[in-house]
Structure 1
Amino acid sequence: MASSSGTSSGSSTLPNSGSEEDLQLMMDQRKRKRMISNRESARRSRMRKQKHLDDLAVQVGQLRNENHQIVTSVNLTTQRYLAVESENSVLRAQLNELNNRLDSLNEIINFLNVSNGVFEPLDDNNNNNNNNYFNPLNMAYLNQPIMASADMMHY
């Protein structure tokens, strides 16, 4: 660079040029050290970046596996739900059918009770009154309606 004296003479340039060469050598060494340091820093940065990308790739694989398991679980749960819903629908239809049968049987019992005089007042002049006691349709258990509950629907 420039000499410290500010004037350039032939005799003073030789010692100055030596120090300038030393200064230039020192600057070149610093420059080389900075270049080496920068290259090493860039290499470490690339390695960190590559490690980060590798970690992300592993995480992507794990998340894909987890997602696949969740989708499989949801599909199985949906299938089970649909099966239970279908079974529930069948059981509701069976319950309705059994309730209709029960209503029909209760109507038949009521009709038989009314037509056999179970609820009619007894007539002392009628000889059939004694037969009413032995008539199986007049038994007390037949006068009760048939009851059913959901507990009885188990197969």
Structure 2
Amino acid sequence: MSSVQRQSSSGSDGSATVDEKKRKRMLSNRESARRSRMKKQKQIDDLTTEITRLEMSNNQVRQTVDARERSYNEIESANNVLRAQAMELTDRLQSLNSVLHIFEEVSGFSVDIPEMHDPLLKPWQRPYPSQPIPASSSMFFI
């Protein structure tokens, strides 16, 4: 074999080796790209699942807040009614005490008129013997 033939055969072997390396690199790149796409798809799926979970949680919180707000509004309305009734009863009691004072002055009889406390000024002080107020935990939670 001549030296030219040896070079060309080794050159073609070198070319085949380069082609084989190129082919392996392409396959490796394709596999890497496939793994990358799968990883990205998994991330998207995980984020989509997280979005769904957070939306459901947000809806539950929103429903709880709405229910508590409705409950608060109902209680506030009932408190307003009770305040109005307390003011009306206080006015009635003042009127009755005035009548008793007039009766005392006109008749000369001594009438024991209890001191009247304003429940709206100091609601924590009870002018009358306290009575237990029945309550249950279900009043506070929905």
TM range (shorter): 0.7 to 0.9
Letter in 2 for 1:70: V
Deviations 1:44-81 (A, max 9, x none): 00010010011011101100100100110110011011
- The aligned residue for residue 115 of structure 1 is 106
94, 97, 100: which one pairs with 1:103?
94
Letter in 2 for 1:15: R
Using the size of structure 2 for normalisation, the TM-score is 0.79
Q: Which runs of 5+ in 2 are unaligned?
A: 118-126, 134-142
- The aligned residue for residue 37 of structure 1 is 28
Answering whether residue 19 of structure 2 is matched by residue 28 of structure 1, we say yes
Letter in 1 for 2:72: Y
Matched residue of 1:143: which SS? coil
Aligned-pair CA distance for 1:12? 3.3
66, 76, 84: which one pairs with 1:85?
76
Q: How many residues align?
A: 121
Moved over 4 A (4+): none
- The aligned residue for residue 145 of structure 1 is 114
Distance 1:30 1:64 in 2: 50
Q: Which runs of 5+ in 1 are unaligned?
A: 1-10, 119-137
Using the size of structure 1 for normalisation, the TM-score is 0.72
- The aligned residue for residue 57 of structure 1 is 48
* Larger RCO, structure (CA 8 Å, separation 6 or more): 1
Asked which structure has the greater CA Rg, the reply is 1
Indicate the RMSD between aligned Cα atoms, in angstroms: 1.8
Distance 2:105 2:61 in 1: 64
Aligned-pair CA distance for 1:29? 0.5
Distance 1:143 1:49 in 2: 88
Answering whether residue 63 of structure 2 is matched by residue 72 of structure 1, we say yes
Distance 1:40 1:32 in 2: 12
Distance 1:145 1:72 in 2: 50
